[in-house]
């Protein structure tokens, strides 16, 4: 039968796209990594990765990789269970960029005060990546945006609203809420890390076509383009700390709010320390508007 060591090596090789980098990550020799992958391939009866640069999975490897991740995540949770009483260990937590920048520091401080022996390792990803990471075992927990329905045991940790992102010299910056239609005319910029699903919903609410002038992956790129006068954008208010000089947030009409929900996976048992994080957050609820946020009930 495959061993957990072999599965960890396989996942490390795939995630690092390199035998050398996987060896450095695992603090073992490259020959040990090669031997472990070869032994695993012999066990399953086929090649799992192509020895190329970068390393990629074969069709068989792609089919088995999610099971390897799930097995590792379950084994880690099993190992951590005995430490639950003293709440010690590591939790891998994923969140979108605006949450990592605007909310995560406060959450980490709260957890550090309440659970000093728990180390939270943060992974930053886009909206459409987080659920897959969570269910696939890449992370143990995530702060998801507007999950529907929210998983049992999840916790609403914050709520914020969407705002216009414009240069300080924009003609409507001090005129009250900026109509979304005006931003569309100015040339709307969107980013994969900027909650595109919610921006699309805003357009439907305003009965406007969604036709961005530019679509980029990184928030930093989008904000630099706003700063250079290439267009304007829409972002959640938690992202305000990311704005460069010369770019500001302004009220938006119409607007909407998003719920930020701390949760574990739905398809496998939660890591015990995720439950500890949720419990600690229950005692110290956080909200981007500095107002108390109630626990989720039947969302």
CATH number for 37: 1.10.10.10
Give the pLDDT band (50/70/90) at residue 120.
Answer: very high
Residue 70 scores a pLDDT above 70: yes
pLDDT of residue 297: 34
In contact, 142 and 288? CB cutoff 8 Å: no
Own/partner pairs, 206-210, CB within 8 angstroms, 24+ separation: 206/179, 206/180, 206/181, 206/254, 208/180, 208/181, 208/184, 209/184
In contact, 60 and 47? CB cutoff 8 Å: yes
pLDDT of residue 41: 93
In the chain, the N- to C-terminal Cα span, in Å, equals 42
DSSP 239: G
Residue 284 scores a pLDDT above 70: no
Which of 169, 175, 92 is CA-nearest to residue 136?
A: 92
CA 16 to each of CA 38, 240, 260: distance values in angstroms, whole numbers, following the listed order: 17, 32, 30
Residue 105 scores a pLDDT above 90: yes
In contact, 162 and 199? CB cutoff 8 Å: yes
Q: How many CA atoms lie within 13 A of 44 on its CB side?
A: 23
124: domain CATH number?
Answer: 3.40.190.10
Q: Write down how long the chain is.
A: 299
Q: How many CA atoms lie within 13 A of 67 on its CB side?
A: 10
Token pair, residue 286, equals 């956080």
pLDDT of residue 8: 92
What integer is the mean pLDDT of 126-136?
85
Based on the fold, state whether residues 57 and 132 are members of the same structural domain. no
Q: Give the rounded percent of residues in the chain with a pLDDT score beyond 90.
A: 50
Residue 111 scores a pLDDT above 90: yes
Asked whether residue 297 is domain-assigned, the answer is no
pLDDT of residue 19: 94
**Cβ neighbours around 171 below 10 Å, total:** 10
pLDDT of residue 83: 56
Domain end: 51, 81, 111, which one?
Answer: 81
Domains identified in the chain, total number: 3
Residue 137 scores a pLDDT above 60: yes
Token pair, residue 156, equals 């609403």
Q: Higher pLDDT residue, 266 or 86?
A: 266
Residue 178 scores a pLDDT above 80: yes
Alpha-carbon 3 to chain mean position: 29
Give bridge partners of residue 8 from the DSSP assignment. none
What integer is the mean pLDDT of 251-255?
92
pLDDT of residue 69: 92
Which of 51, 46, 128, 113 is CA-nearest to residue 277?
A: 113
Q: What is the pTM of this model?
A: 0.67
Asked whether residue 188 is domain-assigned, the answer is yes
Asked whether residue 35 is domain-assigned, the answer is yes
What integer is the mean pLDDT of 46-59?
94
Asked whether residue 28 is domain-assigned, the answer is yes
pLDDT of residue 126: 82
Based on the fold, state whether residues 22 and 139 are members of the same structural domain. no
Based on the fold, state whether residues 241 and 263 are members of the same structural domain. no
Asked whether residue 299 is domain-assigned, the answer is no
CA 99 to each of CA 38, 168, 255, 265: distance values in angstroms, whole numbers, following the listed order: 40, 24, 19, 19
* Measured distance CA(40)–CA(33) in Å, rounded: 11
Domain end: 52, 81, 110, which one?
Answer: 81
Based on the fold, state whether residues 275 and 135 are members of the same structural domain. yes
Based on the fold, state whether residues 18 and 98 are members of the same structural domain. no
Which of 193, 3, 175, 206 is CA-nearest to residue 100?
A: 193
Token pair, residue 155, equals 């916790």
DSSP 160: E
Burial of 276 (0-12, 13-18, 19+ CB in 10 A): buried
Domain extent, residue 172, equals 160-257
């Amino acid at each position: 039968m495959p061993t957990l060591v072999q599965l960890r090596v396989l996942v490390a090789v795939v995630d690092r796209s390199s035998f050398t980098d996987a060896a450095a990550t695992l603090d073992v020799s490259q020959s040990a990594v090669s031997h472990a992958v070869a032994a695993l391939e012999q066990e399953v009866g086929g090649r799992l990765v192509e020895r190329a640069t970068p390393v990629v999975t074969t069709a068989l490897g792609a089919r088995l990789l999610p099971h390897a991740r799930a097995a590792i995540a379950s084994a880690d949770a099993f190992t951590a269970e005995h430490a639950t009483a003293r709440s010690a260990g590591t939790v891998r937590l994923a969140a979108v960029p605006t949450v990592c920048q605007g909310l995560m520091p406060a959450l980490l401080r709260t957890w550090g005060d309440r659970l000093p022996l728990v180390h939270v390792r943060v992974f930053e990803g886009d909206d459409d990546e987080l659920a897959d990471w969570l269910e696939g075992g890449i992370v143990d927990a995530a702060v998801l945006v507007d999950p529907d329905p929210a998983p049992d045991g999840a916790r609403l940790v914050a709520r914020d609203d969407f705002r216009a992102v414009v240069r300080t010299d924009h003609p409507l910056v001090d005129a009250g809420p900026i109509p979304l239609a005006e931003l569309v005319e100015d040339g709307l910029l969107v980013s994969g890390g900027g909650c595109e699903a919610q921006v699309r919903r805003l357009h439907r609410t305003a009965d406007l076509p969604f036709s961005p002038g530019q679509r980029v992956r990184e928030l930093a790129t989008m904000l630099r383009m706003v700063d250079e006068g290439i267009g304007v954008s829409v972002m959640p208010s938690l992202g305000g700390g990311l704005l460069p000089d010369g770019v500001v947030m302004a009220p938006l009409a119409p607007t909407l709010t998003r719920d930020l929900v701390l949760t574990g996976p739905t398809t496998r048992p939660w890591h015990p320390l995720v439950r500890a994080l949720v419990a600690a957050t229950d005692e110290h609820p956080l909200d981007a508007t500095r107002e108390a946020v109630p626990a989720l009930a039947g969302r």
